Amino acid sequence: MIVRQAANVLEIMEFFAQTRKPATLAEIADHFGWPRSSTFNLLATLSEKGYLYEPRPRAGFYPTPRWLAMARMISEVEPLPPWTHTLVTDLSAETGETASIVAPAGVMAVFIDVVESKAAIRYFATIGHRVPIHATASGRALLLQYSQEERDSVYRKIEFKQYGPSTPISIEAVETELRNSIQRGYCQSFGDYSRDLAGAAIPLPISDRRLSVVVAGPEFRIGPKVEEVAALIARTVDRLRPKAAA
């Protein structure tokens, strides 16, 4: 069950992150199609808690820097080592595609760092974006780091859907693909989840965290050079990862 008002808080914040300017109650209510009275209650709650204020009289609400202060606190802990950001930056620059660091979240994989391609036609992803762990290159690069028991436990919760012609729709299909990936030396996906999208990924264990790096883009661009891209990822990781570390 989705908690509506919790989701609404996030939507409001995303709204401000997009528009980047104060908005009045009426504007917000109209934008979301929410009743004024409900919008009023929500804005009042956020204001009372010190997360919204009125930068100038009558110009509407805007988030206080409290969001930033809180987010900084949260992200200061075990931040990704700086070289991982260099990694995705370099990969995106050299391939011209979108490169990301990905982490597990149950049956999903979450993007925790993203550098977008500059191409007009590109894979559009943002930090926080989620994809099925079994039907994507990045996700399978995570699964490779699990023990058999852990994988089984994940499989039990997966609802296998035919996202595209090549989506693995059974545990055995996924396991087979994982074995192939080990053979191949990298994980790949051709529209397994998103139409026309292809990607190459490899596991990226950092201390005891199980992460993965992925480069993804339109099938017609990635297709011909998956192997090359995968090799580049591996080389770049080798180059950037501190030698001493695990």
Partner DNA sequence: GGAAAATGTACATATATGTGAATTTATATG
Partner DNA sequence: CATATAAATTCACATATATGTACATTTTCC
Interacting residues toward DNA by CB under 7 A: 1, 3-6, 24-26, 34-38, 40-41, 58, 60, 106, 153, 156-157
CB of 51 to DNA, least distance (A): 16
Judging by beta carbons within 10 Å of its beta carbon (0-12, 13-18, 19+), is residue 85 exposed, middle or buried? middle
Q: Which residues contact 184 (CB under 8 A, 6 or more apart)?
A: 230
The amino acid at 49: K
112 binds, among DNA, a copy of itself, none (CB under 5 to 8 A by kind): a copy of itself
User: Which among DNA, a copy of itself, none contacts residue 119 (Cβ within 5 to 8 A by kind)?
Assistant: none
Q: Please report, as residue ranges, which positions from 38 to 57 form the binding site for a copy of itself (by CB under 8 A).
A: 41-42, 44-57
7: contact with a copy of itself by CB under 8 A:
yes
Pairing of strands 209-218, 197-206: antiparallel
Q: Please give the helix or strand (H or E) that residue 239 lies within, else none.
A: helix 226-240
Q: How far apart are CA 220 and CA 67, in angstroms?
A: 41
Least spacing, CB of residue 83 vs DNA, in Å: 31
14 binds, among a copy of itself, DNA, none (CB under 5 to 8 A by kind): a copy of itself
86 counts as binding a copy of itself under rule CB under 8 A = no
Give the nearer residue to a copy of itself in terms of CB position, either 75 or 176: 75
Task: Please compute Rg for the chain using Cα positions.
Answer: 21
